[in-house]
Amino acid sequence: MLDIRFVKENPELVKENIRKKFKDAKLPLVDQAIALHDEKLAANKRADELRANRNKISKEIGMLMGKGLREEAEAKKKLVAEQAEELKALGEKETELEAALREVMLKIPNIVDDSVPVGKDDSENVEVEQFGEQTAVDFEIPYHTDIMARFNGIDKEAAGRVAGEGFYYLMGDIARLHSAVTAYARDFMINKGFTYCIPPFMIRSRVVSGVMSFEEMDAMMYKIEGEDLYLIGTSEHSMIGKFIDTMTDEAQLPLTLTSYSPCFRKEKGAHGIEERGIYRIHQFEKQEMIVICKPEENMEWFHKMWSYSVELFRSLDIPVRTLECCTGDLADLKVKSYDVEAWSPKQGKYFEVCSCSNLGDAQARRLGIRVKGEDGKKYLAHTLNNTVVAPPRMLIAFLENNLEYADGKYSVRIPEALRPYMGGTERIVEK
């Protein structure tokens, strides 16, 4: 969310930013916000005048009563009563205007960084760099759920009976591999100096509206009926929410946390080959990282964070690339975003496994996350988040890139970094 003062001082810049994001339908929001703020200021000014006048008249009533001029004093009292009614009405109007202004401001996109390429949608995202040689094999790689099935590692049919489409049971070696990857990712981030945390898996509506746009909320979040609670779509929501309405001493920054959680998503509009199997599901587990830092350090942390994901995937022998999201593919709160994509030898292309986002002060402004500088001045923190790993997508990349075939059977090689989390196992073999 932008500062209304910034919007009023730079209306054309804000509108141009909306055009860069190809969201012209939101252009009228800028003028609406300015008009609402002006109306709110006028109401505030009139209310202040009435309060000052009330104090003045109250003194006059006392003087008149002291002189025995009761009739004149009663007339003044009547005026005070009339102005009290007007003041009450103004108070209600101010509250309404404040709510209306906030609703409009929440819909105005954040200002994207100048380095972000202009493009309409994800088809115009830009490759930044590739890491590792693309895996090539001389045997047919089955579809990922078929790989899992060969190891007796998945049961979607039973999950369908229990919970419906978009759920699954992981079993045996595949389930163990899932847990091993998550535990490895946890320790990987702890070794980078991040504090490990397990957060609440439900959050209140104020936190939801503080960490994401209305469009994202509608597409992702599950609401708990009858309560002001939502199931989290990612632990970033809980982790950023941890600092709602807080003041942190600048000397304590940066705050770096890594969190584990299950995640729950509606996944509206999922379709195509990447939506089959377990690409897009309603429940999965995830290791996340977040950073809360000073404004001048946000880009430094942005580049550190996506590089951590690259390093982790390469340690598991998975080729990856980084892709910069263009303006039209950025969610409204984001200043800049990279996707880390893993190579799929089955499909012969990369697919998203991590998303690293710099949100500037947008979440901090919505949630009241402030910092007290060494000079005593207060300012808004900057927030960033990135996926460490999100099984089962991570499993898809892992299985395809570490799959081997010999003597009519498939096996999966366990990279050295992961073996301690698999009880020393170097290979799992088809059942």
Any idea where the domains of the chain sit in the sequence? 4-107, 122-429
pLDDT in tens, 92-133: 999 999 999 999 999 999 999 999 999 999 999 999 999 999
pLDDT band at 288 (very low <50, low <70, confident <90, very high): very high
Please state whether the peptide bond connecting residue 200 to the residue before it is cis, i.e. omega within 30 degrees of 0: no
The CATH class that applies to domain 4-107 reads mainly alpha
Residue whose C-alpha is closest to residue 368's, from 251, 250, 243: 243
**Measured between alpha carbons, how far is 250 from 254 in angstroms, rounded to an integer?**
8
Query: Do 4-107 and 122-429 show the same overall fold?
Result: no
The CATH classification number of 122-429 equals: 3.30.930.10
Query: Which pLDDT score is estimated for 88?
Result: 85
Residue whose C-alpha is closest to residue 115's, from 322, 361, 338: 338
**Measured between alpha carbons, how far is 162 from 156 in angstroms, rounded to an integer?**
10
pLDDT band at 392 (very low <50, low <70, confident <90, very high): confident
The whole-model pTM stands at 0.88
**Measured between alpha carbons, how far is 391 from 376 in angstroms, rounded to an integer?**
44
pLDDT band at 79 (very low <50, low <70, confident <90, very high): confident
